[in-house]
Amino acid sequence: MLGYYNYSVILTYIGLVSSVMGMTFAVSGRYKLAIFCLAFSGLCDMFDGKIARAMKNRTEDEKRFGIQIDSLCDMVCFGAFPVVLCYSSGMRSVSGRLILAFYCLASVIRLGYFNVMEEKRQNETEEARVYYEGLPITTIAIVLPIACLLKPYFGLAFGLIIQLIMFVMAFLMIFRFKLKKPGNRVLALLVVCVGLAVLRILHII
């Protein structure tokens, strides 16, 4: 079979499957489950890199494949999926559609640029990345669940707020600035916050 199927990419594949299921939930109006799938895909992405780096005997082809497959899956999970979710949940005005198109375009540009620079970086050093250049595309898996949790407090203004969020996210993804990569404590806090938001949205807590 074509491709690689070792444990270094298994979480990436699981996250992709979760996002595809989330898109089916979104188009059928089951938005709460769609938000859960988005958050779960974000959780998978948070740890897939750590697992990949822990596999010390990867070949050069496996490393290159990992870079490519990670970005391809990110485009589906955190590029296309949020667009489908936002559109299905009501972001259908002309301005809304233009913003969603801009978000998708920014996602492709960012991930293409990341692939080029990450392969170059890995050829130069084995050390983990310390800074992100621009806002990581996976940030949407944190922002949207928390925004949806706050929806009842914004009322009719929520539609405009989501448009603003998507526009700002798209702009920051391609804007050149350095963002320090969060440590394990910050990541743990983000997981807890998003997890609590999702549980609240699902009315579990």
Q: Taking Cα atoms as reference points, which of 1, 42, 38 lies closest to residue 19? A: 38
pTM for the whole thing? 0.91
CA 62 to each of CA 45, 70, 84, 184: distance values in angstroms, whole numbers, following the listed order:
18, 12, 31, 26
- Asked whether the CA dihedral 9, 15, 21, 24 is positive or negative, the reply is negative
The number of beta carbons lying within 10 Å of the beta carbon of residue 154 is 13
Res 19: pLDDT: 98
Which pLDDT score, from 0 to 100, does residue 126 have? 67
Residue 194 CA to residue 44 CA, distance in Å, equals 13
Cα separation, 167 vs 170, whole angstroms = 5
27-36: which pairs have CB atoms within 8 A and are 24 or more residues apart? 27/84, 27/88, 29/88, 31/85, 31/88, 31/89, 31/148, 32/201, 32/202, 34/85, 34/88, 35/85, 35/144, 35/145, 35/148, 35/198, 35/201, 36/198, 36/201, 36/202
Splitting the chain (205 residues) into consecutive groups of 10 residues, what average pLDDT does each group show? Answer: 82 95 97 96 87 76 86 96 96 96 97 87 72 93 94 89 97 95 89 92 76
The predicted pLDDT at position 205 comes to 54
CA separation for the pair 159, 168 (Å, rounded): 14
Per-residue pLDDT, 95: 96
**pLDDT computed for residue 107 by the predictor:** 97
